[in-house]
């Protein structure tokens, strides 16, 4: 079976992107996997530190590893936005395929120092366990909130976008496998429309960095911007807020219309279907499937 690294390399060659979708519960995992399997495309399941605490770090890894083993399917698990070496290490030790160390708020050199420590540990763990663990880090600022926003988060601006020369230096100094840049993307969905992406900047960063690029904050981005970003060098795209909103709205609607229903497998089904539809549409777009 293909490794995550091989799937990302293949995505780059084909000029498509792998969808990365976060989960907080089992229902979302079922919906995401069902959509990916219908299209026969690789998929990455992400859990932030908060999502891990709610779902269970080891439980998530075990479930996804079992799906991969049972079905022989390229489904992978990522420790999304971990903010310390210790948290990063715990997810790697649990068996995650990749992890993101996010210390973007630190000054450049301090950020590099923490990331280097994580990369060194992941390499050591890979050699010891016979695994291929990928390490990703973020450079540039895109905010941190996964919700519907009234305006752009404070600090997100043209000035905080990633510069190609900084990307080259950061990758060279840290040895990361994947880079998440700031190129007009923002975590969350901004009322009135998210900012436009900058494909030219993406292309410059990909050439300078020399490693695959990941687009965070994919929720709320226009379809044409996604396509342009993939053509410019984006190989993985994160979606979270969109599926959270779909889940919430479908569940709320069903409960309002069926206030006496208390069976979870009945009132959660519309929420699962709503997430499935969002993921299916995004995966079709990311993979050029009509």
What is d(CA 155, CA 134) in angstroms, rounded to the nearest whole number?
29
Contact 29, 45 (CB under 8 A): yes
What is d(CA 137, CA 161) in angstroms, rounded to the nearest whole number?
15
Q: Active-site residue 132, yes or no? A: no
The total number of residues shown for the chain amounts to: 290
Joined together, the tokens standing for residue 158 give: 């043209």
User: Could you please report the per-residue DSSP string of 78-99?
Assistant: EEEEE-SHHHHHHHHHHT-SEE
The 8-class DSSP code of residue 177 comes to S
What is d(CA 33, CA 47) in angstroms, rounded to the nearest whole number?
15
For residue 228, the Cα-to-chain-centroid distance in whole angstroms is: 18
Residue 179: name the closest of 202, 197, 195 by CA: 202
Task: Indicate which residue of 80, 97, 102, 177 is catalytic.
Answer: 80
Contact 169, 201 (CB under 8 A): no
* CA distances to 39, 41, 72, 122, 158 from 284, in Å: 8, 9, 21, 32, 30
Spell out where 176-274 has E strands. 178-181, 189-190, 213-215, 234-239
What is d(CA 151, CA 287) in angstroms, rounded to the nearest whole number?
30
Catalytic residue positions? 80
């Amino acid at each position: 079976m293909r490794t995550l690294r091989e799937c990302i390399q293949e995505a780059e060659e084909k000029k498509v992107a792998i969808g990365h979708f976060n989960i907080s519960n089992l229902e979302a995992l079922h919906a995401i996997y069902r959509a990916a399997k219908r299209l026969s495309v690789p998929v990455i399941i992400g859990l932030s530190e908060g999502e891990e605490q709610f779902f269970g770090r080891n439980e998530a890894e075990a479930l996804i590893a079992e799906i991969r083993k049972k079905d022989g399917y390229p489904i992978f698990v990522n420790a999304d936005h971990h903010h310390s070496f210790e948290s990063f290490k715990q997810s790697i030790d649990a068996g995650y395929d990749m992890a993101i160390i996010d210390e973007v708020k630190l000054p450049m050199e301090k950020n590099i120092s923490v990331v280097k420590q994580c990369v060194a540990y992941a390499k050591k763990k890979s050699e010891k366990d016979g695994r291929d663990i990928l390490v990703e880090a973020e450079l540039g600022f895109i905010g941190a909130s996964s919700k519907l926003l009234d305006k752009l988060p404070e600090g997100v601006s043209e000035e905080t976008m990633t510069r190609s020369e900084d990307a080259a230096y950061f990758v060279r100094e840290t040895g990361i496998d994947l880079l998440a840049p700031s190129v007009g993307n923002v975590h969350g969905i901004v009322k009135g429309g998210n900012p436009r992406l900058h494909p030219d900047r993406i292309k410059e960063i990909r050439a300078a960095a020399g490693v695959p690029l990941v687009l965070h904050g994919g929720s709320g981005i226009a379809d044409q911007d996604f396509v342009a970003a993939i053509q410019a060098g984006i190989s993985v795209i994160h979606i979270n807020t969109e599926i959270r909103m779909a889940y919430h709205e479908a569940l709320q609607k069903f409960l309002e219309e069926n206030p006496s229903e208390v069976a979870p497998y009945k009132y959660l089904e519309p929420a699962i279907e709503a997430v499935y539809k969002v993921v299916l549409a995004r995966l079709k777009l990311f993979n050029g499937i009509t």
